[in-house]
Structure 1
Protein backbone atom coordinates (compact mmCIF):
# COMPACT_ATOMS: atom_id res chain seq x y z
CA UNK A 1 0.00 0.00 0.00
CA UNK A 2 2.81 2.41 0.91
CA UNK A 3 4.43 2.30 -2.53
CA UNK A 4 1.09 3.30 -4.04
CA UNK A 5 0.40 6.15 -1.63
CA UNK A 6 -0.38 9.54 -3.17
CA UNK A 7 2.30 11.26 -1.08
CA UNK A 8 5.78 11.08 -2.61
CA UNK A 9 7.38 11.26 0.84
CA UNK A 10 5.48 8.15 1.93
CA UNK A 11 6.46 6.23 -1.20
CA UNK A 12 10.07 7.34 -0.81
CA UNK A 13 10.23 6.18 2.82
CA UNK A 14 8.62 2.86 1.93
CA UNK A 15 11.17 2.32 -0.84
CA UNK A 16 14.02 2.78 1.64
CA UNK A 17 12.42 0.16 3.92
CA UNK A 18 12.34 -2.62 1.30
CA UNK A 19 15.58 -4.06 2.68
CA UNK A 20 13.74 -4.92 5.91
CA UNK A 21 10.88 -6.83 4.25
CA UNK A 22 10.88 -10.64 3.76
CA UNK A 23 13.43 -11.49 1.07
CA UNK A 24 10.80 -13.29 -1.01
CA UNK A 25 8.85 -10.02 -1.34
CA UNK A 26 11.68 -7.65 -2.22
CA UNK A 27 11.88 -8.21 -5.98
CA UNK A 28 8.18 -7.48 -6.45
CA UNK A 29 8.41 -4.35 -4.30
CA UNK A 30 11.49 -3.10 -6.15
CA UNK A 31 9.78 -3.63 -9.51
CA UNK A 32 6.81 -1.63 -8.25
CA UNK A 33 9.04 1.22 -7.09
CA UNK A 34 11.05 1.32 -10.31
CA UNK A 35 7.81 2.17 -12.13
CA UNK A 36 7.11 5.14 -9.85
CA UNK A 37 6.49 8.47 -11.53
CA UNK A 38 8.86 10.18 -9.08
CA UNK A 39 12.56 9.79 -9.90
CA UNK A 40 13.68 9.91 -6.24
CA UNK A 41 11.51 6.88 -5.46
CA UNK A 42 13.04 5.06 -8.43
CA UNK A 43 16.52 5.92 -7.13
CA UNK A 44 15.72 4.49 -3.69
CA UNK A 45 14.41 1.29 -5.27
CA UNK A 46 17.52 1.01 -7.45
CA UNK A 47 19.59 1.11 -4.27
CA UNK A 48 17.49 -1.74 -2.89
CA UNK A 49 18.42 -4.16 -5.70
CA UNK A 50 21.41 -5.35 -3.67
CA UNK A 51 18.95 -6.71 -1.07
CA UNK A 52 16.92 -8.78 -3.54
CA UNK A 53 17.60 -12.53 -3.80
CA UNK A 54 20.95 -12.91 -5.53
CA UNK A 55 19.46 -15.03 -8.31
CA UNK A 56 17.06 -12.20 -9.20
CA UNK A 57 19.38 -9.21 -9.01
CA UNK A 58 20.72 -9.31 -12.57
CA UNK A 59 17.22 -9.26 -14.07
CA UNK A 60 16.38 -6.23 -11.92
CA UNK A 61 19.60 -4.51 -13.00
CA UNK A 62 18.80 -5.09 -16.68
CA UNK A 63 15.28 -3.81 -16.11
CA UNK A 64 16.74 -0.71 -14.47
CA UNK A 65 19.07 -0.16 -17.43
CA UNK A 66 16.06 0.02 -19.72
CA UNK A 67 14.43 2.57 -17.44
CA UNK A 68 17.60 4.67 -17.37
CA UNK A 69 17.87 4.73 -21.17
CA UNK A 70 14.47 6.40 -21.17
CA UNK A 71 15.37 8.61 -18.21
CA UNK A 72 18.52 9.93 -19.87
CA UNK A 73 16.37 11.12 -22.79
CA UNK A 74 13.77 12.81 -20.60
CA UNK A 75 13.14 16.51 -21.20
CA UNK A 76 13.38 17.19 -17.46
CA UNK A 77 17.00 17.86 -16.44
CA UNK A 78 16.15 16.70 -12.91
CA UNK A 79 15.15 13.26 -14.26
CA UNK A 80 18.27 12.99 -16.43
CA UNK A 81 20.49 14.03 -13.52
CA UNK A 82 19.02 11.38 -11.20
CA UNK A 83 19.17 8.79 -13.98
CA UNK A 84 22.89 9.47 -14.37
CA UNK A 85 23.44 8.88 -10.65
CA UNK A 86 21.64 5.52 -10.90
CA UNK A 87 23.92 4.04 -13.57
CA UNK A 88 26.03 2.35 -10.90
CA UNK A 89 23.04 0.17 -9.96
CA UNK A 90 22.29 -0.99 -13.52
CA UNK A 91 23.65 -4.14 -15.13
CA UNK A 92 27.41 -3.79 -15.63
CA UNK A 93 27.10 -4.80 -19.28
CA UNK A 94 24.82 -1.79 -19.89
CA UNK A 95 26.77 0.87 -17.99
CA UNK A 96 29.16 1.91 -20.77
CA UNK A 97 26.31 2.68 -23.16
CA UNK A 98 24.47 4.62 -20.45
CA UNK A 99 27.56 6.63 -19.55
CA UNK A 100 28.21 7.50 -23.20
CA UNK A 101 24.62 8.69 -23.51
CA UNK A 102 25.03 10.95 -20.48
CA UNK A 103 28.38 12.36 -21.58
CA UNK A 104 26.61 13.75 -24.65
CA UNK A 105 23.99 15.55 -22.55
CA UNK A 106 23.69 19.32 -22.91
CA UNK A 107 23.56 19.77 -19.13
CA UNK A 108 26.86 20.05 -17.25
CA UNK A 109 25.59 18.30 -14.11
CA UNK A 110 24.36 15.30 -16.08
CA UNK A 111 27.72 15.04 -17.86
CA UNK A 112 29.62 15.34 -14.58
CA UNK A 113 27.53 12.64 -12.89
CA UNK A 114 28.11 10.34 -15.85
CA UNK A 115 31.84 11.02 -15.69
CA UNK A 116 31.73 9.95 -12.04
CA UNK A 117 30.01 6.72 -13.08
CA UNK A 118 32.98 5.65 -15.21
CA UNK A 119 34.51 3.92 -12.18
CA UNK A 120 31.56 1.47 -12.27
CA UNK A 121 31.97 0.57 -15.96
CA UNK A 122 33.74 -2.68 -16.92
CA UNK A 123 37.44 -2.16 -16.23
CA UNK A 124 38.36 -2.91 -19.84
CA UNK A 125 36.17 -0.03 -21.05
CA UNK A 126 37.08 2.63 -18.50
CA UNK A 127 40.11 3.95 -20.39
CA UNK A 128 38.07 4.81 -23.48
CA UNK A 129 35.34 6.43 -21.40
CA UNK A 130 37.88 8.53 -19.51
CA UNK A 131 39.33 9.76 -22.80
CA UNK A 132 35.86 10.87 -23.87
CA UNK A 133 35.36 12.62 -20.53
CA UNK A 134 38.76 14.35 -20.65
CA UNK A 135 37.82 15.89 -23.99
CA UNK A 136 34.93 17.48 -22.08
CA UNK A 137 37.31 18.83 -19.44
CA UNK A 138 36.96 16.22 -16.69
CA UNK A 139 39.98 14.99 -14.74
CA UNK A 140 40.11 11.83 -12.65
CA UNK A 141 41.45 11.07 -9.19
CA UNK A 142 41.77 7.50 -7.98
CA UNK A 143 39.21 7.21 -5.13
CA UNK A 144 41.63 4.92 -3.25
CA UNK A 145 44.22 7.73 -3.22
CA UNK A 146 41.70 10.45 -2.43
CA UNK A 147 40.32 8.45 0.50
CA UNK A 148 43.70 8.72 2.27
CA UNK A 149 44.30 12.42 1.61
CA UNK A 150 43.99 15.28 4.05
CA UNK A 151 44.41 18.81 2.63
CA UNK A 152 46.04 20.27 5.75
CA UNK A 153 49.68 19.49 4.94
CA UNK A 154 49.80 20.07 1.19
CA UNK A 155 51.70 23.38 1.42
CA UNK A 156 54.13 22.45 4.19
CA UNK A 157 57.85 21.95 3.49
CA UNK A 158 59.61 18.65 4.14
CA UNK A 159 60.89 18.38 7.71
CA UNK A 160 59.02 21.38 9.17
CA UNK A 161 58.28 21.41 12.92
CA UNK A 162 55.44 23.92 13.26
CA UNK A 163 53.41 26.04 10.85
CA UNK A 164 50.43 28.35 11.17
CA UNK A 165 47.63 27.17 8.88
CA UNK A 166 45.98 29.83 6.73
CA UNK A 167 42.24 29.81 7.46
CA UNK A 168 39.49 32.03 8.74
CA UNK A 169 38.22 31.73 12.32
CA UNK A 170 40.57 30.30 14.95
CA UNK A 171 44.31 29.97 14.71
CA UNK A 172 45.34 26.48 13.63
CA UNK A 173 48.89 25.22 14.00
CA UNK A 174 50.18 22.23 12.06
CA UNK A 175 52.75 20.16 13.89
CA UNK A 176 55.72 18.46 12.25
CA UNK A 177 58.10 15.73 13.27
CA UNK A 178 56.49 12.64 14.78
CA UNK A 179 53.16 14.47 15.12
CA UNK A 180 52.89 15.42 11.44
CA UNK A 181 49.50 14.44 10.00
CA UNK A 182 48.53 13.06 13.43
CA UNK A 183 47.86 16.09 15.63
CA UNK A 184 47.11 19.78 15.08
CA UNK A 185 46.54 22.62 17.55
CA UNK A 186 43.47 24.84 17.42
CA UNK A 187 43.65 28.09 19.40
CA UNK A 188 40.11 29.03 20.42
CA UNK A 189 38.09 30.88 23.06
CA UNK A 190 37.26 28.95 26.26
CA UNK A 191 33.48 29.14 25.72
CA UNK A 192 33.97 27.61 22.28
CA UNK A 193 35.93 24.76 23.85
CA UNK A 194 33.02 24.05 26.23
CA UNK A 195 30.61 23.58 23.31
CA UNK A 196 33.12 21.40 21.47
CA UNK A 197 33.75 19.26 24.57
CA UNK A 198 30.04 18.78 25.13
CA UNK A 199 29.63 17.44 21.59
CA UNK A 200 32.76 15.26 21.80
CA UNK A 201 32.25 13.78 25.27
CA UNK A 202 28.58 12.84 24.77
CA UNK A 203 29.35 9.31 23.60
CA UNK A 204 26.02 7.77 24.68
CA UNK A 205 24.08 10.45 22.83
CA UNK A 206 25.83 9.67 19.54
CA UNK A 207 25.52 5.93 20.14
CA UNK A 208 21.75 6.33 20.38
CA UNK A 209 21.92 8.22 17.09
CA UNK A 210 23.39 5.12 15.46
CA UNK A 211 27.10 6.00 15.42
CA UNK A 212 29.73 3.43 16.33
CA UNK A 213 32.17 6.27 17.02
CA UNK A 214 31.75 9.86 18.22
CA UNK A 215 31.46 11.77 14.91
CA UNK A 216 33.19 14.86 16.32
CA UNK A 217 36.77 16.07 15.84
CA UNK A 218 38.66 14.28 18.65
CA UNK A 219 40.15 16.32 21.51
CA UNK A 220 43.40 14.74 22.75
CA UNK A 221 44.71 17.53 24.98
CA UNK A 222 44.18 21.09 26.24
CA UNK A 223 46.84 23.66 27.16
CA UNK A 224 46.50 27.23 28.52
CA UNK A 225 47.48 30.06 26.21
CA UNK A 226 49.81 32.95 26.97
CA UNK A 227 46.79 35.15 26.28
CA UNK A 228 45.27 34.00 29.55
CA UNK A 229 41.51 33.56 29.83
CA UNK A 230 40.90 34.74 26.27
CA UNK A 231 42.30 31.64 24.58
CA UNK A 232 43.14 27.95 25.02
CA UNK A 233 45.15 25.61 22.83
CA UNK A 234 43.31 22.41 21.90
CA UNK A 235 45.32 19.47 20.58
CA UNK A 236 43.15 17.46 18.21
CA UNK A 237 43.72 14.29 16.23
CA UNK A 238 43.81 14.69 12.45
CA UNK A 239 41.16 12.65 10.64
CA UNK A 240 43.17 11.11 7.76
CA UNK A 241 40.73 11.53 4.93
CA UNK A 242 39.20 14.06 2.53
CA UNK A 243 36.44 16.52 3.24
CA UNK A 244 32.95 15.67 2.03
CA UNK A 245 33.28 18.60 -0.38
CA UNK A 246 36.41 17.16 -2.02
CA UNK A 247 35.08 13.60 -2.07
CA UNK A 248 31.70 14.42 -3.62
CA UNK A 249 33.37 16.69 -6.16
CA UNK A 250 35.35 13.68 -7.38
CA UNK A 251 32.97 10.75 -6.96
CA UNK A 252 29.43 9.80 -5.99
CA UNK A 253 30.59 6.62 -4.21
CA UNK A 254 28.69 6.27 -0.91
CA UNK A 255 27.11 9.70 -1.44
CA UNK A 256 23.75 8.76 0.06
CA UNK A 257 25.30 7.09 3.10
CA UNK A 258 27.58 10.10 3.61
CA UNK A 259 24.71 12.56 3.32
CA UNK A 260 22.62 10.51 5.77
CA UNK A 261 25.39 10.58 8.37
CA UNK A 262 25.97 14.28 7.79
CA UNK A 263 22.28 15.05 8.25
CA UNK A 264 22.17 13.03 11.48
CA UNK A 265 25.20 14.91 12.85
CA UNK A 266 23.59 18.27 12.06
CA UNK A 267 20.36 17.18 13.72
CA UNK A 268 22.33 15.87 16.71
CA UNK A 269 24.15 19.15 17.25
CA UNK A 270 20.81 20.94 17.08
CA UNK A 271 19.40 18.60 19.74
CA UNK A 272 22.40 19.37 21.94
CA UNK A 273 21.69 23.05 21.26
CA UNK A 274 25.18 23.57 19.89
CA UNK A 275 25.60 26.02 17.03
CA UNK A 276 28.68 24.97 15.09
CA UNK A 277 28.90 28.19 13.12
CA UNK A 278 29.91 26.92 9.68
CA UNK A 279 28.52 23.50 8.80
CA UNK A 280 29.60 23.48 5.16
CA UNK A 281 30.88 20.34 3.41
CA UNK A 282 34.48 21.40 3.94
CA UNK A 283 34.02 20.88 7.67
CA UNK A 284 32.81 17.30 7.37
CA UNK A 285 35.66 14.82 6.97
CA UNK A 286 35.59 11.16 5.93
CA UNK A 287 37.49 8.27 7.43
CA UNK A 288 37.54 5.02 5.47
CA UNK A 289 38.20 1.62 6.99
CA UNK A 290 41.63 0.24 6.11
CA UNK A 291 42.61 -3.03 4.48
CA UNK A 292 45.32 -5.17 6.16
CA UNK A 293 47.94 -3.53 3.91
CA UNK A 294 46.89 -0.01 4.94
CA UNK A 295 44.89 0.96 1.86
CA UNK A 296 41.43 2.50 1.96
CA UNK A 297 38.62 -0.07 1.94
CA UNK A 298 36.05 1.39 -0.44
CA UNK A 299 33.73 -1.60 -0.08
CA UNK A 300 32.36 -0.08 3.15
CA UNK A 301 30.86 3.39 3.66
CA UNK A 302 33.18 5.85 5.40
CA UNK A 303 32.62 7.35 8.83
CA UNK A 304 31.77 11.06 8.80
CA UNK A 305 33.24 13.50 11.34
CA UNK A 306 32.37 17.15 11.89
CA UNK A 307 35.45 19.29 12.52
CA UNK A 308 36.53 22.89 13.15
CA UNK A 309 34.48 24.02 16.15
CA UNK A 310 36.22 27.43 16.30
CA UNK A 311 32.91 29.30 16.03
CA UNK A 312 30.78 26.91 18.09
CA UNK A 313 28.47 28.24 20.81
CA UNK A 314 25.87 26.63 23.03
CA UNK A 315 22.34 27.97 23.00
CA UNK A 316 21.52 30.27 25.96
CA UNK A 317 18.60 27.95 26.75
CA UNK A 318 20.99 25.21 27.88
Structure 2
Protein backbone atom coordinates (compact mmCIF):
# COMPACT_ATOMS: atom_id res chain seq x y z
CA UNK A 1 0.00 0.00 0.00
CA UNK A 2 1.34 3.39 -0.95
CA UNK A 3 1.74 5.75 1.98
CA UNK A 4 -0.04 9.10 1.92
CA UNK A 5 1.76 12.49 2.16
CA UNK A 6 0.47 12.88 5.73
CA UNK A 7 1.94 9.48 6.67
CA UNK A 8 5.25 10.54 5.14
CA UNK A 9 5.28 13.77 7.16
CA UNK A 10 4.38 11.94 10.35
CA UNK A 11 7.19 9.43 9.81
CA UNK A 12 9.66 12.28 9.23
CA UNK A 13 8.47 14.04 12.40
CA UNK A 14 8.91 10.88 14.47
CA UNK A 15 12.36 10.34 13.02
CA UNK A 16 13.27 13.95 13.82
CA UNK A 17 12.26 13.39 17.43
CA UNK A 18 14.49 10.31 17.56
CA UNK A 19 17.47 12.25 16.20
CA UNK A 20 16.76 15.13 18.56
CA UNK A 21 17.01 12.87 21.60
CA UNK A 22 19.93 10.80 20.28
CA UNK A 23 22.06 13.82 19.39
CA UNK A 24 21.28 15.48 22.71
CA UNK A 25 22.55 12.38 24.51
CA UNK A 26 25.67 11.87 22.35
CA UNK A 27 26.46 15.22 20.71
CA UNK A 28 30.11 14.35 20.00
CA UNK A 29 29.63 10.88 18.51
CA UNK A 30 31.03 11.14 14.95
CA UNK A 31 29.25 7.99 13.73
CA UNK A 32 25.92 9.24 15.02
CA UNK A 33 26.43 12.61 13.34
CA UNK A 34 27.27 10.97 10.00
CA UNK A 35 24.13 8.82 10.23
CA UNK A 36 22.07 11.86 11.07
CA UNK A 37 23.52 13.81 8.15
CA UNK A 38 22.65 10.96 5.78
CA UNK A 39 19.08 10.91 7.02
CA UNK A 40 18.82 14.69 6.76
CA UNK A 41 20.08 14.73 3.15
CA UNK A 42 17.94 11.79 2.05
CA UNK A 43 14.64 13.67 1.79
CA UNK A 44 13.52 17.31 1.78
CA UNK A 45 10.71 16.38 4.17
CA UNK A 46 13.35 15.29 6.69
CA UNK A 47 14.92 18.74 6.68
CA UNK A 48 11.53 20.36 7.24
CA UNK A 49 10.70 17.98 10.10
CA UNK A 50 14.09 18.62 11.72
CA UNK A 51 13.66 22.38 11.48
CA UNK A 52 10.21 22.21 13.08
CA UNK A 53 11.35 19.87 15.85
CA UNK A 54 14.42 21.88 16.73
CA UNK A 55 12.55 25.20 16.75
CA UNK A 56 9.92 23.91 19.16
CA UNK A 57 12.59 22.33 21.37
CA UNK A 58 14.50 25.60 21.51
CA UNK A 59 11.37 27.64 22.31
CA UNK A 60 10.20 25.35 25.08
CA UNK A 61 13.49 24.56 26.78
CA UNK A 62 15.92 27.33 26.01
CA UNK A 63 13.94 30.57 25.86
CA UNK A 64 14.48 32.77 28.94
CA UNK A 65 12.27 35.63 30.16
CA UNK A 66 13.18 39.08 28.89
CA UNK A 67 14.12 40.32 32.33
CA UNK A 68 16.56 37.48 33.02
CA UNK A 69 19.59 36.42 31.01
CA UNK A 70 19.23 32.80 32.00
CA UNK A 71 16.76 30.96 34.20
CA UNK A 72 17.49 27.63 35.88
CA UNK A 73 15.36 24.52 35.61
CA UNK A 74 13.75 23.40 38.83
CA UNK A 75 12.45 19.90 39.50
CA UNK A 76 9.26 19.32 41.42
CA UNK A 77 11.34 18.29 44.42
CA UNK A 78 12.88 21.77 44.51
CA UNK A 79 16.27 20.92 43.08
CA UNK A 80 17.70 23.30 40.50
CA UNK A 81 18.95 21.83 37.26
CA UNK A 82 21.44 23.53 34.98
CA UNK A 83 20.41 23.81 31.35
CA UNK A 84 22.29 21.74 28.85
CA UNK A 85 24.37 23.50 26.22
CA UNK A 86 22.89 21.28 23.51
CA UNK A 87 21.26 23.24 20.70
CA UNK A 88 19.36 21.35 18.00
CA UNK A 89 19.49 24.42 15.79
CA UNK A 90 23.26 23.92 15.62
CA UNK A 91 22.74 20.81 13.50
CA UNK A 92 21.85 21.66 9.89
CA UNK A 93 22.49 20.30 6.45
CA UNK A 94 25.82 22.09 6.21
CA UNK A 95 26.90 22.26 9.86
CA UNK A 96 28.00 19.84 12.52
CA UNK A 97 26.93 20.03 16.13
CA UNK A 98 28.60 22.40 18.55
CA UNK A 99 30.61 20.75 21.34
CA UNK A 100 28.38 20.02 24.32
CA UNK A 101 28.71 18.60 27.80
CA UNK A 102 26.82 15.45 28.60
CA UNK A 103 24.63 15.71 31.67
CA UNK A 104 25.26 13.35 34.57
CA UNK A 105 23.90 12.58 38.02
CA UNK A 106 20.77 14.37 39.08
CA UNK A 107 21.08 16.77 36.14
CA UNK A 108 21.09 13.88 33.73
CA UNK A 109 18.06 12.33 35.38
CA UNK A 110 16.06 15.50 35.00
CA UNK A 111 17.21 15.98 31.43
CA UNK A 112 16.06 12.46 30.61
CA UNK A 113 12.60 13.44 31.81
CA UNK A 114 12.67 16.27 29.27
CA UNK A 115 13.92 13.94 26.51
CA UNK A 116 11.07 11.53 27.14
CA UNK A 117 8.65 14.43 26.95
CA UNK A 118 10.16 15.52 23.65
CA UNK A 119 10.03 12.01 22.25
CA UNK A 120 6.66 11.02 23.62
CA UNK A 121 4.74 14.26 23.79
CA UNK A 122 6.26 16.87 21.49
CA UNK A 123 7.94 15.90 18.27
CA UNK A 124 5.70 12.99 17.21
CA UNK A 125 3.21 15.62 16.14
CA UNK A 126 5.40 18.68 16.17
CA UNK A 127 3.36 21.06 14.07
CA UNK A 128 0.17 20.36 16.02
CA UNK A 129 2.01 20.79 19.32
CA UNK A 130 3.38 24.13 18.18
CA UNK A 131 -0.11 25.36 17.34
CA UNK A 132 -1.62 24.14 20.62
CA UNK A 133 1.03 25.79 22.77
CA UNK A 134 1.82 29.00 20.96
CA UNK A 135 -1.05 30.00 18.64
CA UNK A 136 -3.64 32.37 20.17
CA UNK A 137 -7.31 31.46 20.04
CA UNK A 138 -8.08 34.15 17.49
CA UNK A 139 -11.33 32.65 16.22
CA UNK A 140 -12.68 32.19 19.73
CA UNK A 141 -12.05 35.82 20.60
CA UNK A 142 -13.92 36.86 17.47
CA UNK A 143 -16.99 34.65 18.00
CA UNK A 144 -17.36 34.83 21.80
CA UNK A 145 -18.95 37.67 23.74
CA UNK A 146 -16.85 37.03 26.84
CA UNK A 147 -13.48 35.28 27.07
CA UNK A 148 -11.18 34.70 30.05
CA UNK A 149 -7.51 33.75 30.08
CA UNK A 150 -5.70 31.22 32.27
CA UNK A 151 -6.32 31.96 35.93
CA UNK A 152 -8.89 34.68 35.12
CA UNK A 153 -12.60 34.78 35.95
CA UNK A 154 -15.38 37.14 34.93
CA UNK A 155 -18.91 37.87 36.10
CA UNK A 156 -21.40 38.60 33.33
CA UNK A 157 -24.77 40.18 34.12
CA UNK A 158 -27.46 39.52 31.50
CA UNK A 159 -30.30 41.89 30.65
CA UNK A 160 -32.80 39.72 32.56
CA UNK A 161 -30.70 39.88 35.74
CA UNK A 162 -29.24 36.38 35.39
CA UNK A 163 -25.56 35.98 36.22
CA UNK A 164 -22.82 34.01 34.48
CA UNK A 165 -19.68 33.34 36.49
CA UNK A 166 -17.18 32.51 33.78
CA UNK A 167 -14.30 30.26 34.85
CA UNK A 168 -10.62 30.48 33.82
CA UNK A 169 -9.71 29.95 30.15
CA UNK A 170 -13.40 29.89 29.21
CA UNK A 171 -15.63 31.53 26.64
CA UNK A 172 -19.34 32.16 26.29
CA UNK A 173 -21.58 33.82 23.72
CA UNK A 174 -25.00 35.32 24.42
CA UNK A 175 -27.15 34.13 21.55
CA UNK A 176 -30.40 35.83 22.49
CA UNK A 177 -32.32 37.14 25.51
CA UNK A 178 -35.84 37.49 24.06
CA UNK A 179 -39.39 37.76 25.35
CA UNK A 180 -40.12 34.04 25.11
CA UNK A 181 -36.70 32.44 25.64
CA UNK A 182 -33.14 32.98 26.77
CA UNK A 183 -30.23 31.31 24.99
CA UNK A 184 -26.47 31.26 25.64
CA UNK A 185 -23.63 28.98 24.51
CA UNK A 186 -20.57 27.83 26.42
CA UNK A 187 -17.82 27.65 23.80
CA UNK A 188 -14.98 26.55 26.07
CA UNK A 189 -14.22 25.83 29.70
CA UNK A 190 -16.69 26.17 32.56
CA UNK A 191 -19.32 28.56 33.85
CA UNK A 192 -21.72 28.75 36.78
CA UNK A 193 -25.16 30.15 36.03
CA UNK A 194 -27.56 31.84 38.44
CA UNK A 195 -30.77 32.21 36.48
CA UNK A 196 -33.49 34.71 37.28
CA UNK A 197 -36.77 32.77 37.54
CA UNK A 198 -39.18 33.32 34.66
CA UNK A 199 -41.62 30.49 33.81
CA UNK A 200 -42.44 32.13 30.48
CA UNK A 201 -38.83 32.29 29.29
CA UNK A 202 -36.87 29.03 29.49
CA UNK A 203 -33.12 29.56 29.86
CA UNK A 204 -30.99 27.30 27.66
CA UNK A 205 -27.25 26.70 27.76
CA UNK A 206 -25.65 24.96 24.77
CA UNK A 207 -22.39 23.11 25.41
CA UNK A 208 -21.28 21.11 22.41
CA UNK A 209 -24.14 18.74 21.55
CA UNK A 210 -25.77 19.11 24.98
CA UNK A 211 -28.55 21.55 25.83
CA UNK A 212 -29.40 22.36 29.45
CA UNK A 213 -32.82 23.95 30.01
CA UNK A 214 -34.02 25.67 33.19
CA UNK A 215 -36.66 28.14 34.34
CA UNK A 216 -34.84 29.45 37.39
CA UNK A 217 -31.98 27.78 39.23
CA UNK A 218 -28.21 27.76 39.76
CA UNK A 219 -26.06 25.21 38.01
CA UNK A 220 -22.59 24.59 36.56
CA UNK A 221 -21.76 23.61 32.97
CA UNK A 222 -18.36 22.24 31.99
CA UNK A 223 -17.24 21.66 28.40
CA UNK A 224 -14.17 19.45 27.97
CA UNK A 225 -12.35 18.04 24.97
CA UNK A 226 -14.26 14.75 25.02
CA UNK A 227 -17.24 15.38 27.28
CA UNK A 228 -19.69 17.87 28.72
CA UNK A 229 -21.01 17.88 32.28
CA UNK A 230 -23.71 19.62 34.27
CA UNK A 231 -24.08 19.93 38.04
CA UNK A 232 -27.04 21.48 39.87
CA UNK A 233 -26.66 23.47 43.08
CA UNK A 234 -30.26 24.65 43.34
CA UNK A 235 -33.51 23.96 41.52
CA UNK A 236 -34.26 21.65 38.62
CA UNK A 237 -32.78 21.33 35.13
CA UNK A 238 -33.35 19.20 32.02
CA UNK A 239 -30.35 17.97 30.04
CA UNK A 240 -30.89 16.78 26.46
CA UNK A 241 -28.84 15.97 23.39
CA UNK A 242 -28.35 13.70 20.42
CA UNK A 243 -24.91 12.11 20.45
CA UNK A 244 -23.77 9.27 18.19
CA UNK A 245 -27.39 8.87 17.07
CA UNK A 246 -28.48 8.30 20.66
CA UNK A 247 -31.09 10.56 22.19
CA UNK A 248 -30.30 11.71 25.72
CA UNK A 249 -32.87 13.19 28.11
CA UNK A 250 -32.09 13.47 31.80
CA UNK A 251 -33.51 15.54 34.65
CA UNK A 252 -31.38 16.76 37.54
CA UNK A 253 -32.17 18.29 40.90
CA UNK A 254 -29.96 19.87 43.58
CA UNK A 255 -26.77 17.88 44.11
CA UNK A 256 -27.12 15.86 40.91
CA UNK A 257 -24.46 15.83 38.23
CA UNK A 258 -24.18 14.26 34.81
CA UNK A 259 -21.26 13.75 32.42
CA UNK A 260 -21.83 12.84 28.76
CA UNK A 261 -18.98 11.83 26.47
CA UNK A 262 -18.77 12.40 22.73
CA UNK A 263 -19.37 8.68 22.22
CA UNK A 264 -22.69 8.92 24.08
CA UNK A 265 -21.58 7.35 27.38
CA UNK A 266 -23.57 8.80 30.29
CA UNK A 267 -22.37 8.98 33.89
CA UNK A 268 -24.41 10.54 36.65
CA UNK A 269 -24.38 10.80 40.41
CA UNK A 270 -24.92 13.01 43.42
CA UNK A 271 -22.45 15.10 45.41
CA UNK A 272 -22.40 17.67 48.22
CA UNK A 273 -23.60 21.06 46.99
CA UNK A 274 -20.27 22.68 47.85
CA UNK A 275 -18.55 20.39 45.33
CA UNK A 276 -20.60 21.79 42.46
CA UNK A 277 -18.71 24.65 40.78
CA UNK A 278 -15.88 24.03 43.26
CA UNK A 279 -13.59 25.96 40.90
CA UNK A 280 -15.17 29.14 42.30
CA UNK A 281 -13.53 28.27 45.63
CA UNK A 282 -10.18 27.37 44.03
CA UNK A 283 -10.72 23.63 43.90
CA UNK A 284 -11.03 20.81 41.38
CA UNK A 285 -13.18 17.92 42.59
CA UNK A 286 -12.59 14.67 40.73
CA UNK A 287 -14.61 11.51 41.20
CA UNK A 288 -13.28 8.57 39.22
CA UNK A 289 -12.25 10.79 36.31
CA UNK A 290 -9.65 10.16 33.61
CA UNK A 291 -6.38 11.74 34.69
CA UNK A 292 -5.86 13.66 31.45
CA UNK A 293 -9.29 15.30 31.84
CA UNK A 294 -8.42 16.50 35.35
CA UNK A 295 -5.10 17.86 34.08
CA UNK A 296 -7.02 19.69 31.34
CA UNK A 297 -9.07 21.40 34.05
CA UNK A 298 -5.90 22.36 35.92
CA UNK A 299 -4.38 23.82 32.74
CA UNK A 300 -7.05 26.51 32.80
CA UNK A 301 -5.67 27.73 36.11
CA UNK A 302 -1.99 27.69 35.03
CA UNK A 303 -0.58 30.55 32.98
CA UNK A 304 2.00 28.34 31.24
CA UNK A 305 1.98 24.92 29.56
CA UNK A 306 1.53 21.48 31.14
CA UNK A 307 2.89 18.62 29.04
CA UNK A 308 1.49 15.17 29.84
CA UNK A 309 4.14 13.02 28.19
CA UNK A 310 3.10 9.50 29.22
CA UNK A 311 0.11 8.04 27.34
CA UNK A 312 -0.54 5.23 29.83
CA UNK A 313 -0.45 7.61 32.78
CA UNK A 314 -2.92 9.91 31.02
CA UNK A 315 -5.50 7.08 30.88
CA UNK A 316 -5.46 6.35 34.63
CA UNK A 317 -8.43 7.33 36.77
CA UNK A 318 -8.21 9.63 39.77
CA UNK A 319 -10.37 10.88 42.62
CA UNK A 320 -9.62 13.75 44.94
CA UNK A 321 -9.89 17.45 45.74
CA UNK A 322 -7.07 19.61 44.34
CA UNK A 323 -6.10 23.21 45.09
CA UNK A 324 -5.95 25.30 41.91
CA UNK A 325 -4.14 28.14 43.70
CA UNK A 326 -0.96 26.02 43.60
CA UNK A 327 -1.06 24.33 40.17
CA UNK A 328 2.31 22.57 40.53
CA UNK A 329 1.40 21.02 43.88
CA UNK A 330 -2.04 20.07 42.55
CA UNK A 331 -0.47 18.46 39.49
CA UNK A 332 1.94 16.48 41.67
CA UNK A 333 -0.99 15.23 43.75
CA UNK A 334 -3.01 14.27 40.67
CA UNK A 335 -0.27 12.20 39.03
CA UNK A 336 1.50 11.09 42.20
CA UNK A 337 -1.15 8.50 43.06
CA UNK A 338 -0.04 6.56 39.97
CA UNK A 339 3.69 7.13 40.34
CA UNK A 340 3.85 10.13 38.01
CA UNK A 341 6.46 12.83 38.37
CA UNK A 342 6.32 16.57 37.68
CA UNK A 343 9.41 18.42 36.49
CA UNK A 344 9.40 22.22 36.40
CA UNK A 345 11.34 23.22 33.30
CA UNK A 346 10.57 26.92 33.69
CA UNK A 347 7.92 29.05 35.39
CA UNK A 348 5.81 28.45 32.27
CA UNK A 349 6.42 24.76 31.56
CA UNK A 350 5.62 21.70 33.68
CA UNK A 351 6.37 18.23 32.28
CA UNK A 352 4.59 15.14 33.62
CA UNK A 353 6.24 11.77 33.11
CA UNK A 354 5.99 8.26 34.54
CA UNK A 355 8.02 7.80 37.71
TM > 0.5 fold call: no
| TM-score bucket of the superposed structures, by smaller chain | under 0.3
| TM-score w.r.t. length of structure 2 | 0.25
